Every structure is written in C-alpha cells, then in structure tokens.
A and B are shown apart, each in its own frame.
Chain A
C-alpha cells in the first residue's frame, strides 16, 4: 500500500519535512550562519545542542537543503561529514576528510610532519583558479562530544584554528546531545571556539504535540488516490478528537516529548493497517502504546520457572531483613530450605546442585549481579551478589505469574521468613 510507503519513509527513514516544526528561530539562526560562510566567505563555528531525538540532524539537513538551492552555493561549497561514532581517531578522521574532499590523488604518498600541516595542505589545494580565495568548506561533526575524547583533541583544535584564522572560509558545525560539551573541551580549543550554541530544548505544549501527531499521519496533497487521502486525513482528524487517543498521547507526552518516540508509536500503529483493515483506529493506537511501554523485566520474570521464582522471593526477603546488603548463594539456599520445611506443600525439596543451576540461570539473565565484578578467588556459592530488581517489581511479577502456587504467593507476601 502506498500509504505505508509514504508514512514508513517518514517514520523509519527520517524523511525531511518541508519546514522544521517549532524550531523557527533556531532554523533562521543556523541558516544565516551557513549563508555567511557560503556566500560571503566568513568563517564560523557553531554547536547545535539538544537531547536525543530533538531534531538536530533534521534541522541541519533542512538548512543545507535550502542553502543548496542557490546556484552559487551548490557550485562552490564543499561538505565534509564526520561522525564521532565512525571516526574514532584523528588519523582516521583526516583520511576521511581527504576522501570526502576528493583529494586522494593530490595527497598521493606525501608524508606530513603534523596534523596541522596536512590540514593546511588540503585547504590550500581547494583554492580556486585565481588563487585569491579558497572554496568554502562545511565541516559537519556529528556526535561532537566523542571527538573531544581523542588524544590532545587535535582535530578539533586544528579545525577551530582554521575557522579563526583567515586562511579559508570554513564553517564548523558540531551536533551533540551533551549539554556540558564545553566542559569537555581543552582550554586552547575552547578559546578558539566562537561559543555560539543553538539549543533545541523542546518546549512544545500538548496542543502542539497533538497537531504534530495529526500532521505526521497526514498524507500529502500529491497523493495519487485523492479520495483515499481525503478519507484518511479525515479519519486522522477524528482520531485526534477521541478521548481515549488523547489520553494515550498525554501519557506519551508526559514521558517523552520528542519526535523520535512519536514516530515509533506511529509506526507500531501503522503496522496494524493492511489491505483488509485500511484505516487507523483508536484500538491500534492503544495496542501500539501498550507494546512500546511494556516493562521488559516483568516480561522476563514471567518466564521463569517456579524454582527460580522461589529463589527471587528468598532474595527479596533477605533484602528486606538485612536492608539491601549483598547476599550469597548459601544464604539464599538457607531461606529457601526454611520455606520448604515450614510452609510449602507444593514445592519439592530439590537437591542443592539443581538449585545452583537455577541460581546460575538467574545470573546469566543478569537479574542478579556479583558485587565485585566476578573475581573468582571465592567459591561460587559464597560469592556476594545483589538483586537487580526492587520490591515492587517482584510483587507485580508475582501477581502476573501464570498458575503461581498459593503457598509461594503467601510466602512472598508474609513479612518475615
């Protein structure tokens, strides 16, 4: 279905909207900055800071898209895209810059004394024919904070140095999710940075969120089947009015406002739309919400065997009695044995090795963790562990556990032993 195709491109492939929503002032600021570098030859540096999913990359790409509509910009400007995740070393970064500027042949087999020499050489090579001015270059650094962890921060130092000196018009744009990114920079790097930051801290209200929901689901005007798209858009508007849908969206808005989580929710709802079921209904949104906010640990606890569940309850009791001090297997086994002897009718008295195997399964699931990271000098039965679940999670899991024996439940609820 082509509606799936269009919407999936929007949700999964992060297709750029026509204009960034709710970020007008930041967009204007960024566009102006980049235009000054591209057209007027001014060097600039800026950091775009915002939490994950706030729209930093989207903002930058929209700005670049608009700028590249100008003919002179398209012909002159070069772009170098670096990512902190990929270029983990300054050497690798330099090779990538060389590659993206298509200067491998020019560099050839030259050996450079330092990073700075290399970079200056590359920028010299970009000078246009009349040798008076060099082509403007945009350096875009995604995951900027990871570059700050390189040795001596050479790449950052040199790029920002070039942007301060009048050698060539460069724009250094960094995108990062850390608000304290300036603390990570060395003094000499920080002083060369222009301290221009664009913050994308979302201050959407719930009404704007609802509008975003509606516009993200709306089909564009150039959709081939106009009757279908009208019906679809009408359906979406009706959905926005429904109280149940609004409640769900309020819940999501309260926990996470950004577009990425909205896209995830909408994609899950979209998967329930098919040829036999061509409209989106409130129950689809409800299902999608439930799927996206399921508690993973509760799901895992649901699948444990009864013996493993008893061990977890024993650990919970130990935590309650000794206020969270670490325990070892012998203590847990002791509690379990007390339960078997005094209160249990349905649980068989399992041999110690069988109980150890169940304990080790819990260790593999990382529901319990050794305190000192697993130093092996201690016998495994005496190694101190901590439970990675808290009281309420255990009790909730117990409520949902299928066919839980009553004596186990009673033991869990009882205060002592």
Chain B
C-alpha cells in the first residue's frame, strides 16, 4: 500500500526530541482541557510518573523507546503499567481504540518487540477464516510444530486443546500476548470467537493476554448475552502541534528543519480542517515537497521568503485536495504532472466521466432519462406537450424543500415514458429503430442508467438515471439543450 511510507521518510531523521521533563510540560499545554476527557489530568509530576518506566529495563532501551514513540509516551506508559512485569499476570483482554493512524499498532508492537516479550501479531483482515487466525497465533507463539497439530478447518475448541497441549510442555514464564489488529472484523466471524478470545486466559489456564485494536468503539462489539468485558484504553488523536512535530521528523536533510516546518504548517493549514489522518498527511507532504522547493532551486526565492513560497504552493495543494487526496489520480501521475508543468491540462480523474464520449442520440436519451427520473409524471404534460394550456397555480406552489427530487434520489420510470420524452426532446424526427433501443442497453452497461426490477420483465422494463446534475448539465451543454428549463425542481 502506498500509504505505508514508514520506511521511506524515516531514513535520515535525527532525534531532536527534547528531554522528558520539558516534553511533558509542553504536551500538557498542548493537551489543554482535553486532559479531562482522556483521564490524564494532574500536575506535571503526575505526568512524569505515568511516563515510561519499566522495572528491569536499562535506561538506554527506554530512551530508544521514547524516540520511536513520539507524542505517545503517556499511552505507552499506561500500557506498560497495565502489562506489568512479565512474570505477573496481565488482565485477560485489553481493547485499544482510537482513530486510524493514532499509533495503536505502532506503540504496542514496538513495545513488545523492544522489550522482547513473546507475542503474536495477527491482522484480522488477513484471516478470512478463523483457522488462519489460530494457525498464525500458534506459529508465532510456539513454532511451526504446534501449528501443524491443528486439524483442517480448526474450531476454537481445537485451538484451545492444542494450546493446552503445547503449553503443558512449555509453561509460560512470561506473559504471552496475542495482538489482533482490525478487531472489528471478528464480529463477522463465528459468534463464539470473540467471547472465546476475550476469556482465553481462563479457557487455556495460562498467562496469556489478548489485545484487540480497533477504530470502532467497544459498545458495538458487545454480544447479546454479554461477555467478559475487556479493559478499555483510548488512544487520543494527535493535536495540531503534535502532528507538526511528528511530520517534521521526515524532513529532507538538504534543507533546514525550519523550512520543512513552515512547509508542514502550510500543508496543515490547507488540509487540517478536512483530514487529520497522519498517514494521509505524510503521503501528501512527501508528494508535494519537491514542488514547494522549486522556487528555491530555481533561485527565485530564498528560504526566509515564506510568503512567496506560500503563494507558489497553495494552489497546488488545493488541486491536490481534489485529485490525489481523493485518489482520483495516482501519485505517479501526480508526480509526472508536476514535472511537466503544464498547468493548463486538467488532470483526468478516475471518476470524471467527462471523458466518456457519447453518440448524439445517446446524449438525448440520457437527458430524457434524467428528466423522467427527476420530474414527477404528472408534470410531463406541461413540459413536453406543445399546447398544454395553463397549468393550475396550486400544483406549482413552492414545495417543501425535503420533497425536492434532487434530494430524494432518482425515481424509476417505464421504457414508454422514456421514449415519449425522448421523441419530444429531440428536434429532428427519429424512427424507432433497433439502434435507438440498443443505445439504451449500452447506457445501462455504462452504468449511466440502472435497470430496476427483475430481468424477466421483458415487456415493461423500468430504469433509473444514475448520473449527477453536474454531469447532465455538461452533457446538455454539448448539445445546446437548456435542461434547467425542463426540470421541475428549478421552476
């Protein structure tokens, strides 16, 4: 996945984190009233106490842990305190929740790896069946031989049996951890899997703890008759200052860190109100930095001239929001577009249907379909019959906004109505040949129309129009047809 740029940008960062005491105060200032929600309020000394300390662990290792987990010290400290010493028991199940890219997997896996605790990290996305989950867990905890003991299509019962068997030969000297990422997918597997995993410590009678990571809250996981409630731990989202700090760690060594920080500031100014996902922001930062540095390389501006640099990059970032952020355009295409420097060429997005070229009658068929979908049937007479006379005023009173068809969605219409509107909309005389009908079918294939109802209703097929207002306006402009005049909602 393109977003997993963990290794690419972390190459040359130096540890520029201030020492613990200063950092704690700063993060408390950044946290502000939020501290009460999370539950970590208190004086500075409280924060220092809840910082990273682990009995029996050398200070150097703790320091390297702190460097690897920027802005996540408090959470790492809490986790370490809950996990306790390896020989002691840990709570049977822990549920860690928070938005994506708040560092849940990163913190727990880094802690387990650095402190060399026996663990199995399984992502539930990879586990199509429960058997894969069991196999991976046994493989990581006990080795390949134990995984081979599982029968084909193992159930939770088989897993517990094999675990007990292997555990009798290798009793736990340290707590074993099973980390399950994307745990919300466990709800869709067998019904006994989630409650069973939550009480795994009791079922296998061993010092094991199950850690579930998810972005969905625990209330949506609870089974009907209840289960063993896990310990809930929240990983709060990063504040703007913390995002700035973390993103600045990726800075390119050929430029000063202040320049990179100012670049990140500009980026956050554009994107922060839309997206706070750290991975997305890192991706965008990596893609657009070369464009940002263009004026510097060309010699048009100096590093201190932030205003000029801002003027250069801001429209570019706005365009990025409409294309790369929405994945309409791949990052390779984006990079190429930057190098070509043709500002005039609009980037062809994936879902931009504007590049679909339709034949003349198809366009009118589509326009007729749109009118059939969004106009109520009783108004057809007023729009499409030549001498309709005056329409009573009452039926044209300003309607309640909610019943506007553009808010409720397209309505299905029979084929006859479509053809009736089509013949009145097209200016020339059209014979009802098979080519016209086949164009309707091809519009369905292009998913511009959707067929409603069963396939075996051959005599009165019903359709719905599946295009947006902007698209149909563009189409009608190409055939010089003023569609707005014919739309009921815009009278």
- Write the residues of chain A forming the contact surface with B, with a CB cutoff of 8 angstroms: 1, 4-5, 8-9, 11-14, 51-52, 57, 83-88, 92, 96, 99, 145-146, 177-178, 260-261, 264, 267-268, 271-272, 274-277, 283, 287, 290-292, 294, 296-300, 302-307, 322, 328, 330-331, 334, 347-348, 350-351, 353-354, 357-358, 364-366, 377-379, 381-382, 400, 402-403
A–B Cβ pairs within 8 angstroms, 29 of them: A8-B89, A9-B89, A11-B91, A13-B201, A52-B227, A52-B228, A85-B192, A86-B155, A86-B203, A92-B157, A145-B225, A260-B229, A261-B229, A271-B81, A287-B40, A287-B42, A294-B232, A296-B232, A296-B234, A297-B219, A298-B37, A328-B408, A334-B407, A350-B274, A365-B216, A378-B409, A382-B409, A402-B34, A403-B240
Residues of B396-443 contacting chain A, CB below 8 A: 401-402, 406-410
A57 to B38 CA separation, bound complex (whole angstroms): 34
Residues of B231-286 contacting chain A, CB below 8 A: 231-234, 236-237, 239-240, 272-276
Are A8 and B84 touching (Cβ within 8 A)?
Answer: yes
Assuming the contacts A8-B84, A264-B231, A302-B236, asked whether A328 and B407 have C-beta atoms less than 8 A apart, the reply is yes
Report which of B88, B201, B328 forms a contact with A5, defined as CB distance below 8 A.
B88
B222 to chain A, nearest CB (A): 11
A370 to B216 CA separation, bound complex (whole angstroms): 16
Instruction: Report chain B residues within 8 Å CB of A294.
Output: 37-39, 232, 234
Residues of B158-174 contacting chain A, CB below 8 A: 160-161
Q: Mark B43-79, 1 if CB is under 8 A from A, else 0.
A: 0001001100101000000000000000000000010
Closest to B205 in A: A13
Closest to A351 in B: B322
A275 to B55 CA separation, bound complex (whole angstroms): 9
Instruction: Report chain A residues within 8 Å CB of B466.
Output: 379
Which of A13, A354, A378, A400 has the largest number of chain B CB atoms within 10 A?
A: A13
Instruction: Report chain B residues within 8 Å CB of A377.
Output: 450, 452
Which of B88, B199, B227, B328 has the largest number of chain A CB atoms within 10 A?
A: B88
Which of A276, A291, A328, A351 has the largest number of chain B CB atoms within 10 A?
A: A291
B226 within 8 A of A: yes
Report which of A83, A96, A366 forms a contact with B203, defined as CB distance below 8 A.
A83
Closest to B349 in A: A353
- Write the residues of chain B forming the contact surface with A, with a CB cutoff of 8 angstroms: 32-34, 37-40, 42, 46, 49-50, 53, 55, 78, 81-82, 84-85, 87-92, 97-99, 102, 155-157, 160-161, 190, 192, 195-196, 199, 201-203, 207, 215-220, 225-229, 231-234, 236-237, 239-240, 272-276, 321-322, 325-326, 328, 351, 401-402, 406-410, 450, 452, 466, 468
A400 to B236 CA separation, bound complex (whole angstroms): 13
Q: Which 6 A-B pairs have the closest CB atoms?
A: A303-B237, A382-B409, A271-B81, A296-B217, A290-B39, A306-B273
Instruction: Report chain A residues within 8 Å CB of B155.
Output: 86, 88, 92
B221 to chain A, nearest CB (A): 10
Instruction: Report chain A residues within 8 Å CB of B92.
Output: 12
Instruction: Report chain A residues within 8 Å CB of B98.
Output: 299-300, 303
Instruction: Report chain B residues within 8 Å CB of A291.
Output: 39, 233
Are B407 and A292 touching (Cβ within 8 A)?
Answer: no
Are A4 and B84 touching (Cβ within 8 A)?
Answer: yes
Report which of B37, B156, B322, B351 forms a contact with A302, defined as CB distance below 8 A.
B37
Instruction: Report chain B residues within 8 Å CB of A302.
Output: 34, 37, 236-237
B309 to chain A, nearest CB (A): 21
Instruction: Report chain A residues within 8 Å CB of B450.
Output: 377
A297 to B215 CA separation, bound complex (whole angstroms): 11
Instruction: Report chain B residues within 8 Å CB of A14.
Output: 202
Instruction: Report chain A residues within 8 Å CB of B216.
Output: 365-366
Are B322 and A303 touching (Cβ within 8 A)?
Answer: no
Are A358 and B274 touching (Cβ within 8 A)?
Answer: yes
Are A86 and B192 touching (Cβ within 8 A)?
Answer: yes
Closest to A89 in B: B155
Assuming the contacts A145-B225, A302-B237, A366-B220, asked whether A86 and B34 have C-beta atoms less than 8 A apart, the reply is no
Instruction: Report chain A residues within 8 Å CB of B97.
Output: 296, 299-300
Are A4 and B85 touching (Cβ within 8 A)?
Answer: yes
Instruction: Report chain A residues within 8 Å CB of B232.
Output: 292, 294, 296
A344 to chain B, nearest CB (A): 11
Are B234 and A354 touching (Cβ within 8 A)?
Answer: no
Report which of B33, B160, B272, B322 forms a contact with A86, defined as CB distance below 8 A.
B160
A57 to B217 CA separation, bound complex (whole angstroms): 29
Instruction: Report chain B residues within 8 Å CB of A84.
Output: 192
Instruction: Report chain B residues within 8 Å CB of A330.
Output: 406-409
Report which of B50, B239, B402 forms a contact with A402, defined as CB distance below 8 A.
B239
B186 to chain A, nearest CB (A): 14
A12 to chain B, nearest CB (A): 4
Closest to A300 in B: B217
Closest to B276 in A: A305
Closest to A82 in B: B157
Are B91 and A267 touching (Cβ within 8 A)?
Answer: yes
B80 to chain A, nearest CB (A): 9
Instruction: Report chain A residues within 8 Å CB of B274.
Output: 305-307, 350, 354, 358
Closest to A2 in B: B88
Instruction: Report chain A residues within 8 Å CB of B78.
Output: 271
Closest to B215 in A: A365
Report which of B207, B229, B326 forms a contact with A354, defined as CB distance below 8 A.
B326
Are A52 and B226 touching (Cβ within 8 A)?
Answer: yes
A187 to B156 CA separation, bound complex (whole angstroms): 30
Are B81 and A400 touching (Cβ within 8 A)?
Answer: no
Are A85 and B156 touching (Cβ within 8 A)?
Answer: yes
Known: A5-B87, A364-B215. 18 other contacts (CB 8 A): A9-B89, A96-B157, A264-B231, A267-B231, A271-B84, A274-B55, A276-B53, A277-B49, A292-B232, A296-B217, A299-B98, A300-B217, A305-B273, A331-B407, A357-B326, A381-B468, A382-B409, A400-B37
A296 to B81 CA separation, bound complex (whole angstroms): 21
Instruction: Report chain B residues within 8 Å CB of A299.
Output: 37-38, 97-98, 217, 234, 236
Are A300 and B409 touching (Cβ within 8 A)?
Answer: no
Instruction: Report chain B residues within 8 Å CB of A350.
Output: 274
A4 to B237 CA separation, bound complex (whole angstroms): 31
Closest to A176 in B: B225
Which of A9, A84, A274 has the largest number of chain B CB atoms within 10 A?
A: A274
Closest to A5 in B: B88
Closest to A99 in B: B161
Are A85 and B275 touching (Cβ within 8 A)?
Answer: no
A85 to B194 CA separation, bound complex (whole angstroms): 10
A245 to B82 CA separation, bound complex (whole angstroms): 22
Instruction: Report chain A residues within 8 Å CB of B160.
Output: 86
A350 to B322 CA separation, bound complex (whole angstroms): 9
B226 to chain A, nearest CB (A): 5
Are B84 and A88 touching (Cβ within 8 A)?
Answer: no
A69 to B215 CA separation, bound complex (whole angstroms): 49
A168 to B309 CA separation, bound complex (whole angstroms): 89
Assuming the contacts A294-B37, A300-B217, asked whether A353 and B239 have C-beta atoms less than 8 A apart, the reply is no
A4 to B78 CA separation, bound complex (whole angstroms): 15
Closest to B327 in A: A357
A330 to B406 CA separation, bound complex (whole angstroms): 8
Instruction: Report chain B residues within 8 Å CB of A83.
Output: 203
B162 to chain A, nearest CB (A): 12
A400 to chain B, nearest CB (A): 6
A243 to B32 CA separation, bound complex (whole angstroms): 28
B28 to chain A, nearest CB (A): 14
B183 to chain A, nearest CB (A): 13
A247 to chain B, nearest CB (A): 17
Instruction: Report chain A residues within 8 Å CB of B46.
Output: 283
Instruction: Report chain B residues within 8 Å CB of A303.
Output: 98-99, 102, 236-237, 276
Closest to B201 in A: A13
A261 to B322 CA separation, bound complex (whole angstroms): 49
Instruction: Report chain B residues within 8 Å CB of A260.
Output: 228-229
